[in-house]
C-alpha cells in the first residue's frame, strides 16, 4: 500500500504536458530534502535512456546520483480531451505495481519497497516515489528488471498478487495460452524464467566488486552507447560473460532444488 507521507516534486512544471496523449516515464530520484524530492537527470520513456544516464553518473565520483538506495520516480503524463485516460487507470496501475515489486523483494529476502505519492505541481501528471534496497541499483540488469516489473503492472490480470508464486502463475498461464500481456510481453516472457536466479543469486553475481564495475562505461557500449538491460543478459549478448555463466548455474541449482 502507499505510504502516508506525500512528497512535493521539486522541479517546477517540468513533468506536465498539455498534449493529447498518455505516456509513462521514469527517472532516478535524488534523496528527499524534507518533503521535497527532485530528479537526478530528468525522466525517460525508454529504459535504455534511463540506464545510460544512470551509468554515466554512477561511474562519476562527483555525481549527484544517490547509490545508498534505489530511488525512482515513476511518472504518468495524463492525456487530455476525449481520448484521455482518467486518474483511475493510473491508480489501478500503481495498485498492481506495489505488490509485484514487493513480491520480488520478499522472494529475494530484501527489504520491502516503499511507495509514496508525489504532488507533481501540475494536473497533467501523476507521480510516485519508489525507494528500495540498494541491491536493485547494483547493475543495469537489476534496474531493468525493476522498471519492467512496474511497467507490466499495466496489465489488469495482475490484480490480487500476494506473493511471487502468484506472479509466476499468471506469467506461466500467459505463456501456455499465448495470451499476450498488455505491455512488454516479449521482454517479460524471455526473462521471467531467470528472475529468481538473478535475485536470489545476488551474493554470487554482484557482491564480488563495487557498483561502478557493473556499470562500466567501457564494457557497456551497446549499439546506442547505453547500458545493457535484462534482455542482453538472458539472451547471452552481455559483455559480462562471467555473470551470465554464473546465472545459468544458479538457475539450474534452483530448478534441481540444490540452491543454497
> What tens digit of pLDDT does each residue of 55-91 get?
777 877 667 777 899 999 998 877 654 334 556 677 7
At 79 the pLDDT is: 63
At 7 the pLDDT is: 93
- Residue 8: pLDDT over 90: yes
- Rg of the chain taking only CA atoms, in angstroms: 18
For residues 158 and 160, give the distance between their C-alpha atoms in angstroms, rounded to a whole number. Answer: 6
Helices marked H in the chain? 47-58, 87-108, 140-152, 164-177, 185-200, 202-206, 211-214, 230-235, 241-255
pLDDT band at 21 (very low <50, low <70, confident <90, very high): very low
Q: Which of 85-99, 115-129, 136-150 has the lowest mean pLDDT?
A: 85-99
At 224 the pLDDT is: 44
At 252 the pLDDT is: 97
pLDDT band at 165 (very low <50, low <70, confident <90, very high): very high
Angle between helices 140-152 and 185-200 (to 10 degrees): 130
C-alpha cell at 127: 507521480
Return the SS3 of 36.
strand
Q: Which of 2-11, 138-147, 154-163, 190-199 has the lowest mean pLDDT?
A: 2-11
Q: How far is CA 79 from the centre of its chain?
A: 23
- Report the pLDDT averaged over residues 190-202: 98
**Other beta carbons less than 10 A from residue 222's beta carbon:** 17
Mean pLDDT value across the chain: 86
At 226 the pLDDT is: 55
For residues 87 and 65, give the distance between their C-alpha atoms in angstroms, rounded to a whole number. Answer: 30
- Distance between first and last Cα of the chain: 32
**Stated pTM of the model:** 0.90
Give the position of cell 490484480: 159
Nearest to 138 by CA among 235, 74, 197, 203: 203
**Other beta carbons less than 10 A from residue 189's beta carbon:** 15
For residues 130 and 8, give the distance between their C-alpha atoms in angstroms, rounded to a whole number. Answer: 14
CB 143 within 8 A of CB 71: no
- Residue 254: pLDDT over 90: yes
Amino acid at each position: 500500500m502507499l505510504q502516508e507521507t506525500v512528497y512535493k516534486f521539486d522541479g517546477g512544471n517540468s513533468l506536465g504536458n498539455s498534449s493529447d496523449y498518455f505516456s509513462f516515464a521514469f527517472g532516478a530520484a535524488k534523496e528527499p530534502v524534507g518533503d521535497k524530492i527532485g530528479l537526478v537527470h530528468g525522466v525517460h520513456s525508454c529504459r535504455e535512456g534511463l540506464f545510460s544516464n544512470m551509468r554515466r553518473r554512477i561511474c562519476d565520483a562527483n555525481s549527484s546520483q544517490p547509490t545508498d538506495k534505489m530511488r525512482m520516480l515513476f511518472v504518468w503524463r495524463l492525456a487530455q480531451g476525449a481520448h484521455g485516460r482518467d486518474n483511475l487507470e493510473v491508480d489501478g496501475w500503481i495498485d498492481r505495481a506495489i505488490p509485484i515489486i514487493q513480491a520480488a523483494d520478499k522472494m529475494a529476502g530484501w527489504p520491502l519497497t516503499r511507495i509514496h505519492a508525489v504532488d507533481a505541481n501540475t494536473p497533467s501528471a501523476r507521480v510516485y516515489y519508489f525507494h528500495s534496497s540498494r541491491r536493485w541499483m547494483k547493475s543495469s540488469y537489476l534496474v531493468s528488471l525493476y522498471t519492467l516489473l512496474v511497467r507490466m503492472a499495466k496489465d489488469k490480470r495482475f490484480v490480487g498478487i500476494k506473493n511471487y508464486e502468484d506472479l509466476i502463475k499468471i506469467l506461466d498461464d500467459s505463456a501456455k495460452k499465448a495470451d499476450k500481456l498488455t505491455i512488454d510481453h516479449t521482454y517479460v516472457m524471455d526473462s521471467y524464467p531467470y528472475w529468481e536466479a538473478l535475485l536470489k543469486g545476488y551474493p554470487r553475481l554482484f557482491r564480488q566488486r563495487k557498483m561502478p564495475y557493473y556499470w562500466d562505461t567501457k564494457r557497456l557500449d551497446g549499439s546506442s552507447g547505453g547500458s545493457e538491460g535484462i534482455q542482453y543478459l538472458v539472451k547471452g549478448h552481455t559483455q559480462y560473460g562471467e555473470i551470465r555463466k554464473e546465472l545459468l548455474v544458479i538457475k539450474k541449482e534452483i530448478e534441481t532444488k540444490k540452491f543454497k
